[in-house]
Amino acid sequence: MNILVYGGGAVGLGLAGALIQAGEKVTIIARPDTAEALIKKGLARCGIFGDCQWPSRLFSVATTPPLEAGSVYDFILICTKSYHSKAIAEILAKNPRLLAAQTRLVLCQNGWGNAEEFAARLGSSRLYNARIITGFQRPEKNMVQITVHADAVRIGSLFTRDTEPVVDLCAALTKGGIPCEPTRHIDRDLWAKMLYNCALNPLGAIFQVPYGDLGTSIHTRQIMDAVIREIFAVMAGAGYGTYWAEPEAYIRHFYEKLIPMTARHEASMLQDIRSKKPTEIDALNGAVVRLAERHGIPAPANRQIYHMIRFAEERYLTGALGA
């Protein structure tokens, strides 16, 4: 398979490494500094799935989408932050030569609403989403560290139940060391991840603590419980669902199973704030708030958390309050 990995951050490099290990033809689109490091040093992986090193002769690197003849892809994996979705969808829409009839886009991003951005510009028939609850960090420009793995990557479509187009991709990722499986119910998986991320990510960033600390305090537990119950109400009102029929069942699973597995993990949102970068709050609690408004459902806990993170962003993105 010929695969384009759009985004050379931790997730993109993690998935790219698995595909290279499986023997697939891989091109990585990365920022210039990352591209330079990958070309000079190759791609390295360390962590719970073992250490690997792939020299740059085994893959290609670019800083913009390759448009030369023959650069049509079987899969384009979108591994950027969610706030880049609109811009990347527009780039792909303006360069249709990258998209053959068989090309499938797989959105490997956090949050809810990314598929809408791509579907509006490229149609829905080629769109798939990936639910990823593996912890990827990037200690160096050309290195990805896998810190935790809660479950297999799952890939499916919000627009069709047909998983046949992504079977080979799932098999390649699994062969390369990252378990992956197709699913006909990716919506349930994405909302399960939304519940987890919306409860933990912003609070971990606000209080600058790992997930386990949030689960041991009665104060943060009350906030997270409220966030979770609101999301269940919003899901029901918007016609979505997940693997738990009611919030109390999920809350038990959340504290008994999910937090213990990732107790020492720090939120990517905390890493963004420390690096003074934009966060993905708009695609997480912000997406919940927008859906709540659309369906007339109150969501005060999610709204307050959303505005707290936006305040933190304003402090370092604009350098002045209210700017």
What residue ranges in the chain does DSSP mark as E strands? 2-6, 25-29, 43-47, 52-54, 60-62, 73-78, 99-107, 127-131, 134-140, 143-149, 153-156, 180-182
25 is catalytic: no
* Strand pairing category for 2-6 and 127-131: unpaired
Determine the Cα–Cα distance for residues 203 and 201; give it in Å rounded to an integer: 6
**Rounded-to-integer distance, Cα 175 and Cα 31, Å:** 28
295 class by beta-carbon count within 10 Å (0-12 exposed, 13-18 middle, 19+ buried): middle
The sign of the torsion formed by the CA atoms of 78, 79, 83, 88 equals: negative
Closest CA to 89 of 60, 113, 53, 63: 113
CA distances from 222 to 8, 30, 36, 285 (A): 37, 40, 46, 16
Q: Which of 25, 40, 141, 193 is catalytic?
A: 193
Other beta carbons within 10 Å of 297: 17
Which residues are catalytic, by number? 193
